[in-house]
Amino acid sequence: MAKKKIIVIGGGFGGVFAAKSLEKLGRGTLDVELVNNNNYFVFQPLLPEVAASSINSADAVVPLRQLLSNVQVRQARVMGIDFAKKTVIVMQGARMTPVELKYDELVMALGTGVDLNRIPGMADHALTMKDLTDAHRLRTHVIGCLETADVTTEAEVKQQLLTFIVAGAGFSGVETAAEVRQLVSRALRYYPNIKPDEIRMYLIEYADRILPTFPADLAEYATTQLRSQGIDVLTGVGTKSATSTGVELTDGRKINSSTIVATIGNGPHPLVSMLGLDMQWGRIKTDRFMRVPGQEHVWALGDAALIPLVDNPQEDPVDYATQTAQFAVREGHQLAGNIFAKLNGKELKPFAYESKGSLASLGMSKAVADVYGIKLSGTFAWLLWRGFYLSFLPGIAAKFRVGMNWILNSIMPPNIVQLRMPPPATRYIHFWKGDKVFEPGMLIDGFYTVINGSFKLTIDNPDTGEHFEKVFGPGEHFGERVLVKSELRTGLVEALEDGLLLFIAQKDFTRFATAFPFLDNYFKEYIEKTFGGADKAFAPGSTNQRKQLAKTR
């Protein structure tokens, strides 16, 4: 008899534990394949510690191939599912070639997506905390802020660099704020020009208290604890908009900051929401056996699925499995059992599980825990937190590595190595009215087009008294001189109203424009027409200006 092919899409908690159990139960009779866009499993509860550099990036994840022996692991991106033909369409390889995979049973475990579009500017300016790259990027960014703050001479810039905002105070927001705070505190001794009281950190929660899934007294303990570490906990207020220089709150306040972390905005996985399945609260509805109604061979679990815990669930989250790693793992085991039962004509079991409790780390060797109904807080809760996650982490190698990281981190100085990632070539940048886009003396690093709003360029030549002004609206552009010469900015550009620019980095813009004769001509003519030639274009800023503006300490 041909082996039945089970495809699991998504290699997070749900997918991995489902695949593992399936392989064990079905050894010899099932052919299990897991598809994931990375070749590793991310232990999400440790991401805040990666961001705080308590743990090496590579140590908070486990290679899927090592975790899942006897399961075929495919590093590929799922692009679509054809339920009628029972195939999954994936893109794989460096050249992204499409491949169709046939299944007999399909397990969907793609998790959720992040949707920050409801808050203007958030998607372009906030860092998220969903996967390893996010955590790594946050760490790099925070250390970069300290590096620059240590050497800048402008008070305003320094304050912005030393203000950190975390939006959302569920447990990932709380843990991220606490961990980043701790990294900054520990690192400060290496930044002699930053005083501890120059650091600002805000944790912003729209609900009227933090940690909504915890009992109120633990949340209160946590709030006190976070405040004593110098974190400003703001509840009952949300973020209204974000720009490159800060956030605006729903109460009208503006906080200048170079760092916005969003742990809010959990939304449906973009692919999942396109499949035409019956969804609620952004999750795929399943029956109590984790089958997707109407799709005979399809199952769903984890954060992506809405699994009822009772027979007649009400419109109330408590009647459904919660979106936690704990639940996903249990679901994985049981879903495997159900698939096996189905294929062998046995009876399926409805999903039932009671949470063992919740834990949240607060940094500084403190935590809150609500375990088997017992409420704990402080250092003991924190040790419990560590022990629990260590035991939970799959694979001995991973446990050992994380354990070693913890030990090293407690006896060694904090790791402030800044492993930078190349910045994106194009990015949208939001501005509030009055914000400066650039000032004379800055390095010309790219080109801007106006998407909306209006921006004013002013060039003053102190030597000759010449003055030049121009306003740019949607579809217009500035900074094209980068094509002709890489020099310092001679003009000042300010937003006349709230607006949005597209920035294109110098290297990429130059490559594009020069590869393309008609574009190259367009810009040459434009410079001629607007500034009266390339030479003229650079005249207004005197060479002395550069020297005035270069700030020495």
Ligand X SMILES: Cc1cc2nc3c(=O)[nH]c(=O)nc-3n(C[C@H](O)[C@H](O)[C@H](O)COP(=O)(O)OP(=O)(O)OC[C@H]3O[C@@H](n4cnc5c(N)ncnc54)[C@H](O)[C@@H]3O)c2cc1C
Site for its own copies in 448-477 (CB under 8 A): 449, 451, 475, 477
From candidates 438, 455, 472, 523, binder to its own copies by CB under 8 A: 438
**Nearer Cβ to ligand X (14/446):** 14
Two tokens at 393? 């982490």
Nearest CA among 144, 136, 132 for reference residue 53: 136
Contact between 112 and 304 under an 8 Å Cβ cutoff? The reply is yes
Taking the least distance from each CB to its own copies, the nearer of 230 and 441 is: 441
Quote the CA–CA distance of 7 and 20 in Å, as a whole number.
12
Residue 300 CA to residue 295 CA, distance in Å, equals 11
Question: Which of 4, 80, 83, 99 is in the footprint of its own copies by CB under 8 A?
Answer: 99
SS (H, E, C) 364-426: CCEEEEEECCEEEEEHHHHHHHHHHHHHHCCCHHHHHHHHHHHHHHHHCCCCCCCCCCCCCCE
Q: How is the beta sheet containing 366-371 ordered, strand by strand?
A: 357-363, 366-371, 374-378
Q: Which is nearer to ligand X, 129 or 437 (CB)?
A: 129
Tokens of 520: 């190259």
What is the footprint of its own copies within residues 287-316 (CB under 8 A)?
none
Q: Find the shortest distance in angstroms from Cβ 502 to ligand X.
A: 27
Binding mask 375-404 for its own copies (x = CB under 8 A): ----------------------x--xx--x
Residue 15 binding: pick among ligand X, its own copies, none (C-beta 5-8 Å cut-off by kind): ligand X
DSSP code string of 56-95: -GGGGEEEHHHH-TTSEEEEEEEEEEETTTTEEEEEETTT
Residues that bind ligand X in the complex, under the rule CB under 6 A: 10-15, 35-38, 42, 44-45, 47-48, 77-78, 109-111, 129-130, 171-172, 271, 302-304, 323-326, 328
**Residue 238, binding choice from ligand X, its own copies, none, Cβ under 5 to 8 Å by partner class:** none
> From the list 349, 356, 467, 551, which residue makes contact with its own copies (rule: CB under 8 A)?
551
Selected from 21, 44, 54, 56, the binder of its own copies by CB under 8 A is: 56
Which span sits near its own copies by CB under 8 A: 213-221, 283-291, 302-310, 505-513? Answer: 505-513
165 binds its own copies (CB under 8 A): no
Q: 275 near 300, Cβ under 8 Å?
A: no
Specify whether the CB–CB gap between 495 and 453 falls below 8 A: yes
Q: How far is the CB of 10 from ligand X (least distance, A)?
A: 3
Identify which of residues 302 and 394 has a Cβ nearer to ligand X in the complex: 302
Beta carbon nearer to its own copies, 98 or 196: 98
Strand duo 283-285 + 305-306: pairing: parallel
H or E element at residue 328: helix 325-343
Stretch that binds its own copies, among 34-42, 164-172, 320-328, 536-544 (CB under 8 A): 34-42
Pairing assessment for the beta strands 61-63 and 40-42 based on DSSP bridges? antiparallel
Which of 421, 434, 525, 544 is in the footprint of its own copies by CB under 8 A? 421
* Cα–Cα distance, 112 to 325 (Å, whole number): 13
Stretch that binds its own copies, among 50-58, 335-343, 353-361, 490-498 (CB under 8 A): 50-58
User: Which is closer to its own copies, CB of 458 or CB of 506?
Assistant: 506
Number of residues that bind its own copies (CB under 8 A): 93
Q: Please choose which of its own copies, ligand X, none residue 13 contacts, taking the beta carbon within 5 to 8 angstroms, the exact cut-off set by kind.
A: ligand X
Task: Pick the binder of its own copies from 4, 24, 38, 378 (CB under 8 A).
Answer: 38
Residue listed under structure tokens 């475990």: 109
Q: Whose structure tokens read 């056996």?
A: 289
